[in-house]
Amino acid sequence: MDRWIGALLRAGVILSAAVAFAGGLWHAMQGGARFPDLRIFHGEPAELRSVTGVLRGVAAGDSIALMQLGLLLLIATPVARVALAMVAFATQRDRTYVAIALIVLAVLAASLAGIRL
């Protein structure tokens, strides 16, 4: 189980880094390498504040959306780790740890959805 979880975490971090790097490289090649004015904070565009918006942006060829997808993959990595641990505990018939993993998944889902507990 530890090897599977370790491999999942490694793969998630490597994949998210590769996607974010590819988006950054693509953005720089499109002329986005100019130095931004860092005195004024500009957040991400409204269309990149949801998973569906990011996926639509990637499908439309938006390099910034690809970088945002890399960040979403990085956020999804520990969530997938908890889900994998829950499945592993279920195969071992360890109900206590399955319940704990379900609680952790519920808390993660609520926090990602913006629900305050």
pTM: 0.80
CA–CA dist 51, 67 (Å, integer): 13
Q: What is the pLDDT of residues 33-60, one digit of tens each?
A: 567 677 888 777 888 888 889 999 999 9
Domain boundaries, the chain: 2-113
Q: What is the pLDDT of residues 22-34, one digit of tens each?
A: 999 998 888 765 6
